[in-house]
């Protein structure tokens, strides 16, 4: 009898597997206004030799830290072998408060949500743009914005505005070199300017109060006295002086406060009228009381601001009449 032995060989086969783990999460901003998007980014990595699926769960808690979690985005992705994947989700909040954000139970950051905020959007050597954002503020009461601190020679410190709306956006751009400001700026012969602030918005503005800090060195270089500095607002081709007062003096700078009546361009410094007399003529007529002399003249102001002119009529060196009139900027009287 023959016995047949059959040998069966088993070969082990390695099964390819994915090995995916969470790497990091972060928020694009730690401060935001009501209704403004904050971008949350998260990243996972696959160190295995096969692709695999991974779910990102984005959550935030309530306005009080530690309260229940709410999922605002749940996304599943495929991550190739030996690769990583980064995804982002946006979240916004309807109420002011402090919110903690996490992805797959890993902290991404804490966001403080305010009804109004001012933040620097861009900056270079001669200009700084500040974005003003409000959502959910009083439509009838002024909203105050504290501007991020700066050591620039002329800089906004505070902006308080009334718009008649509960949500609005404004843009303020500081120019430490007035020559770089857009539009027509008074010539050095008519003005000594320390800085210019340009206002921009698609929303209505009823009035604003600003606080502007001027460096002592800038004042000294300009030869202006501290109390001679005024804030002006543009009105067409002319400029209007605003009621300007010193609210603080120290730390090598003076802070001025001025109330504007419109959203426009503002200039900080000193402007002067430039009034000349032309086409003067006189007419004398007889009367029972003697001779009546009428003097007629045309006053022209080529300066950027309106100014007074005092006309004095003298006869044989004696003043017989005097009149003071205001001549509008870029106008005649």
Q: Which domains does the chain have, with CATH numbers?
A: 20-113 (2.60.40.10), 116-271 (2.60.220.50), 275-332 (no CATH)
Q: What is the DSSP string of 91-135?
A: E--SS-EEEEEEETTEEEEEEEEESEEEEEEEE-SSEEEEEEEEE
pLDDT score recorded for residue 174: 98
Question: Average of pLDDT values for 51-60?
Answer: 96
pLDDT score recorded for residue 316: 76
pLDDT score recorded for residue 66: 55
β-strand partners of 102: 59, 107
pLDDT of 63 strictly over 70: no
Confidence of residue 10 (pLDDT cuts 50, 70, 90): very low
Q: Tell me how crowded residue 215 is: count the other CB atoms within 10 A of its CB.
A: 20
Question: Average of pLDDT values for 210-228?
Answer: 95
Residues with Cβ within 8 Å of 175's Cβ and at least 6 positions away in sequence, in order, are 126, 127, 181, 195, 196, 197, 198
What does the pLDDT look like over 120-159, one tens digit per residue?
999 999 999 999 999 989 999 999 999 999 999 999 999 9
Q: What whole-number distance in Å separates Cα of residue 264 and Cα of residue 198?
A: 7
Structure tokens belonging to residue 90: 């946006």
Identify the H or E element spanning 307: strand 307-315
Question: Average of pLDDT values for 21-36?
Answer: 94
Give this prediction's pTM: 0.77
Q: What is the residue-averaged pLDDT of the chain?
A: 89
Question: Average of pLDDT values for 293-304?
Answer: 85
Q: What is the DSSP string of 42-76?
A: EEEEE-SSS-EEEEEEEEE--SSTTS--EEEEEEE
Identify the H or E element spanning 235: strand 230-235
Confidence of residue 81 (pLDDT cuts 50, 70, 90): very high
pLDDT of 79 strictly over 90: yes
Q: What whole-number distance in Å separates Cα of residue 129 and Cα of residue 182?
A: 13
pLDDT of 2 strictly over 50: no
Task: Specify the higher pLDDT residue, 295 or 165.
Answer: 165
pLDDT score recorded for residue 315: 73
Residues 232-261: b if buried by 16+ CB within 10 A, e if exposed: bbbeeebbbebebeeeeeeeebbbbbbebe
pLDDT of 11 strictly over 60: no
Confidence of residue 1 (pLDDT cuts 50, 70, 90): very low
pLDDT score recorded for residue 4: 44
């Amino acid at each position: 009898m023959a016995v047949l032995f059959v040998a069966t060989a088993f070969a082990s086969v390695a099964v390819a597997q994915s090995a995916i783990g969470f790497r990091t999460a972060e928020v694009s901003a730690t401060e935001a206004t009501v209704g403004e998007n904050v971008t949350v980014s998260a990243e996972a990595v696959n160190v295995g030799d096969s692709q695999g699926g991974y779910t990102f769960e984005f959550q935030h808690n309530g306005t009080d830290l530690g309260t229940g979690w709410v999922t605002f985005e749940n996304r599943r992705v495929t991550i190739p072998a030996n690769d990583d994947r980064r995804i982002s989700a946006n979240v916004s909040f309807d109420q002011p408060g402090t919110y903690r954000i996490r992805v797959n139970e890993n902290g991404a950051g804490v966001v403080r949500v305010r009804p109004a905020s001012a933040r620097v959007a861009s900056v270079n050597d001669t200009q700084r743009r500040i974005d003003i954002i409000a959502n959910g503020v009083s439509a009838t009461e002024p909203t105050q914005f504290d501007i991020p601190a700066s050591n620039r020679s002329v800089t906004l410190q505070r902006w308080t505005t009334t718009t008649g709306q509960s949500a609005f956006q404004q843009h303020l751009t500081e120019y430490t070199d007035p020559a770089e400001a857009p539009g027509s700026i008074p010539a050095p012969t008519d003005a000594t300017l320390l800085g210019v602030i340009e206002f921009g918005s698609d929303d209505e503005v009823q009035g604003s109060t600003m606080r502007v800090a001027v460096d002592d060195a800038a004042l000294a270089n300009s030869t202006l006295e501290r109390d001679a500095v005024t804030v002006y607002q543009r009105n067409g081709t002319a400029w209007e002086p605003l009621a300007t007062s010193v609210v603080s003096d120290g730390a090598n700078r003076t802070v001025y406060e001025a109330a504007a009546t419109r959203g426009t361009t503002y200039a900080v410094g000193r402007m002067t009228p430039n009034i000349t007399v032309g086409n003067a003529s006189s007419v004398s007529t007889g009367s029972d009381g003697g001779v009546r002399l009428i003097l007629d003249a045309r006053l022209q102001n080529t300066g950027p601001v309106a100014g007074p002119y005092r006309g004095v009529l003298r006869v044989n060196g004696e003043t017989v009449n005097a009149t003071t009139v205001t001549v509008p900027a870029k106008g005649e009287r």
